[in-house]
C-alpha cells in the first residue's frame, strides 16, 4: 500500500493536488504535511477532511524531527513536495525565509527519505518547481527543459537551488526523482497577495488596482486544476530523473489581464462598462522584475499526452465567480498578517 506525503497541501496548488489525488486514488493513503504559514489554510480542504485515505499533520520541513516523525508514524512510501515560500515580493523584503523553507527544507526532506527508504530507486520524490528558475525572456522564445538556469529573484534563486539539490540527490544517491517547472497558476483558493486574486479583491473593495512598472511584463497563465492534472500524470507516468515543463501557451501582459478582469467584474457586479478599470493605478516597479515568462510544454504533451483542459476565458470567469461567491474565505485569509504586509508593500 502506498502512503504518499504531500508537503504544502494546505496551500493554493497543494490543496488542488490533495483534493484530486485523494478522490482519484482511494487505494492510496495521503498525508498532507504543512506548517500552516500565512499561506496555508485548512478551511480550503474541509471537503476532503473526512475521507478515510486522508490525514493532515502540522509540521515544518525545516524541522528534521517533524519530518522523521511523520515518516515513522505513517511509513511514507513517496513524496510530492510543494511546501515552499512562494511569493516573489516577500522574497525581496525577506529572503532568508526562502532559503530556509525552500532550500534547507527540501534537503531535510530528502535526507529523511534517505534515512527511511532502504532502496531509494523504489520510491518517488517529486519536486514541484517553477519556470522562474530559467530567468527572463525577451520578446521571442520559450523556456525549454534544457534552458540554462538564470534565477533573478531571491525566490527563484531558492527554487533553482532546491532543483539542483534534487538532481544532485538523484545522481549521487540514486534517489528516484521527478521535477516539474510550471508557469503562473490561477484559480480558486489562491492567496490574495498574487496578481489575479489581489485584483479581484481590490476591485470589489473599491481599492486601487496596483500595476507594477509599465504593466507590460508578460506571464503565461495556467488553470490550477490543469497543473494538478499534470502533477498527477508526472507522478504516475513520468520517468525517473526527468524534468517536465508545464505551461498554458497563454501569454498575457499584466495590464491586458487586469483590464480583462475589470470587464468581467463590471459585468458581474452590474457596474457601468469601464467603471472598474478606473481603479487601475501604475505604481513603482518590482525590484528586478522579470519581463517575460513563457513555457514550451511539448515534452509533457508528447510523452504523457497532457493538455490544458479549459481556455483562459473560461478559467478567468470561473475564478472571478469563485472569489465573488467565497468572500468570507477571502475575508478570513486576509484578516491577519496580510494587513501589515499589504500596508508595507503598497505604501506610496
Ligand atoms: P502557497 O504559498 O499558496 O502555499 C505554500 C504552502 O506551503 C502553504 O500551505 C504553507 O503553509 C506551506 N509551507 C511553507 N513553508 C513550509 C514549511 N517550512 N514546512 C511545511 N509547510 C510549509 O504556494 P503555491 O502557490 O501553492 O505553490 C506551491 C508550490 O508550487 C511551491 O513550491 C511553488 O514554488 C510552486 N509553484 C507555484 C506556482 C504558482 O503560480 N503559484 C507556479 C509554479 C510553481
Ligand atoms: O511563474 C511561476 C511563478 O508565478 C511562481 O513560481 C510563483 O510562486 C508565483 O507567485 C508567480 O510569480 P509572479 O511573480 O509571476 O506572480 P505574481 O502574482 O506575484 O505577479 C504576476 C505579475 O503581476 C508580475 O509581473 C508582477 C505583477 N504584479 C503583481 C502584483 C502582486 C503587479 O503588477 N501588481 C501586483 O500587485
Rounded CA-CA distance 124/92 in Å is 32
- The band of 5, judged by pLDDT with boundaries at 50, 70 and 90, is very high
Tens digits of residue pLDDT in 32-77: 999 999 999 998 899 999 999 999 999 999 999 999 999 999 999 9
Catalytic-labelled residue, pool 54, 126, 134, 155 = 155
The residue contributing the CA closest to ligand 2 atom 7 is: 86
Selected residue with higher pLDDT from 110 and 248:
110
Mutation to probe ligand 1, out of 82, 290, 330 (largest number of atoms < 8 A from CB):
82
Query: How far, in Å, is the centroid of ligand 2 from the Cα of 91?
Result: 12
Query: How far, in Å, is the centroid of ligand 1 from the Cα of 135?
Result: 19
What Rg, from alpha-carbon coordinates, does the chain have?
A: 20
Q: Is 130 in the pocket of ligand 1 (CB under 6 A)?
A: yes
User: Residue 193 corresponds to which cell in the numbers above?
Assistant: 497577495
Sign of the torsion formed by the C-alpha atoms of 141, 142, 145 and 151: positive
Selected residue with higher pLDDT from 300 and 248:
300
Query: How far, in Å, is the centroid of ligand 1 from the Cα of 278?
Result: 33
The residue contributing the CA closest to ligand 2 atom 23 is: 195
Tens digits of residue pLDDT in 266-277: 999 999 999 999
- Where helices occur in the chain by DSSP H, the ranges are 12-24, 64-74, 88-93, 96-98, 105-116, 154-173, 195-205, 224-237, 254-269, 298-304, 312-325, 327-334, 338-345
Q: Over 80: is that where the pLDDT of 90 sits?
A: yes
Q: Which ligand is nearest to the CA of 105?
A: 1
What is the structure's pLDDT at 319? 98
Instruction: Give the whole-number percent of the chain exceeding pLDDT 90.
Output: 95
Looking at the CA of residue 195, tell me the nearest atom of ligand 2: 18
Q: Is 184 in the pocket of ligand 2 (CB under 6 A)?
A: yes
Tens digits of residue pLDDT in 163-208: 999 999 999 999 999 999 999 999 999 999 999 999 999 999 999 9
Mutation to probe ligand 2, out of 181, 187, 194 (largest number of atoms < 8 A from CB):
194
Rounded CA-CA distance 215/257 in Å is 10
Is residue 155 part of the annotated active site? The answer reads yes
What is the structure's pLDDT at 292? 98
Q: Which ligand is nearest to the CA of 341?
A: 2
Is residue 251 part of the annotated active site? The answer reads no
Tens digits of residue pLDDT in 127-174: 999 999 999 999 999 999 999 999 999 999 999 999 999 999 999 999
Q: Over 80: is that where the pLDDT of 23 sits?
A: yes
Is residue 132 part of the annotated active site? The answer reads yes
Query: Are the beta carbons of 210 and 278 closer than 8 angstroms?
Result: no
The residue contributing the CA closest to ligand 2 atom 10 is: 87
DSSP 172-212: HH--EEEEEEE-EEESTT--TTSHHHHHHHHHHHT--EEEE
Query: How far, in Å, is the centroid of ligand 2 from the Cα of 194?
Result: 6
Query: Are the beta carbons of 286 and 177 closer than 8 angstroms?
Result: no
Listed residue (71, 62, 159, 177) closest to 108, CA to CA: 62
Residue 170 CA, distance from chain mean position: 23
Amino acid at each position: 500500500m502506498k502512503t504518499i506525503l504531500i508537503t504544502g497541501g494546505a496551500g493554493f496548488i497543494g490543496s488542488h493536488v490533495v483534493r484530486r489525488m485523494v478522490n482519484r486514488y482511494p487505494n492510496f493513503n495521503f498525508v498532507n504535511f504543512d506548517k500552516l504559514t500565512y499561506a496555508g489554510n485548512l478551511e480550503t480542504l474541509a471537503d476532503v477532511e473526512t475521507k478515510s485515505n486522508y490525514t493532515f499533520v502540522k509540521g515544518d520541513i525545516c524541522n528534521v524531527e517533524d519530518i522523521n516523525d511523520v515518516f515513522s508514524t505513517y511509513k511514507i512510501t513517496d513524496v510530492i513536495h510543494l511546501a515552499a515560500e512562494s511569493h516573489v515580493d516577500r522574497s525581496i523584503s525577506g529572503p532568508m525565509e526562502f532559503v530556509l523553507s525552500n532550500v534547507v527544507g527540501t534537503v531535510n526532506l530528502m535526507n529523511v527519505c534517505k534515512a527511511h527508504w532502504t532502496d531509494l530507486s523504489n520510491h518517488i520524490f517529486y519536486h514541484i518547481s517553477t519556470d522562474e528558475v530559467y530567468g527572463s525572456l525577451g520578446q521571442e522564445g520559450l523556456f525549454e527543459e534544457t534552458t540554462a538556469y538564470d534565477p533573478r529573484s531571491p525566490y527563484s534563486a531558492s527554487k533553482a537551488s532546491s532543483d539542483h539539490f534534487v538532481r544532485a540527490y538523484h545522481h549521487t544517491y540514486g534517489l528516484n526523482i521527478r521535477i516539474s517547472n510550471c508557469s503562473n497558476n490561477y484559480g480558486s483558493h489562491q492567496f490574495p497577495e498574487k496578481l489575479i486574486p489581489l485584483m479581484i479583491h481590490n476591485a470589489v473593495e473599491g481599492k486601487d488596482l496596483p500595476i507594477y512598472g509599465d504593466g507590460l511584463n508578460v506571464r503565461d497563465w495556467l488553470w490550477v486544476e490543469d497543473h494538478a492534472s499534470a502533477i498527477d500524470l508526472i507522478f504516475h507516468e513520468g520517468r525517473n530523473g526527468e524534468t517536465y515543463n508545464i505551461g498554458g501557451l497563454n501569454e498575457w501582459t499584466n495590464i491586458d489581464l487586469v483590464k480583462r478582469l475589470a470587464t468581467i467584474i463590471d459585468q458581474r457586479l452590474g457596474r457601468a462598462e469601464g467603471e472598474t478599470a478606473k481603479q487601475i493605478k501604475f505604481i513603482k516597479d518590482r525590484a528586478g522584475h522579470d519581463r517575460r515568462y513563457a513555457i514550451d510544454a511539448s515534452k509533457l504533451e508528447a510523452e504523457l499526452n497532457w493538455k490544458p483542459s479549459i481556455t483562459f476565458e473560461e478559467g478567468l470567469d470561473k475564478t472571478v465567480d469563485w472569489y465573488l461567491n467565497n468572500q468570507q474565505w477571502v475575508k478570513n485569509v486576509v484578516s491577519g498578517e496580510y494587513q501589515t504586509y499589504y500596508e508595507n508593500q503598497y505604501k506610496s
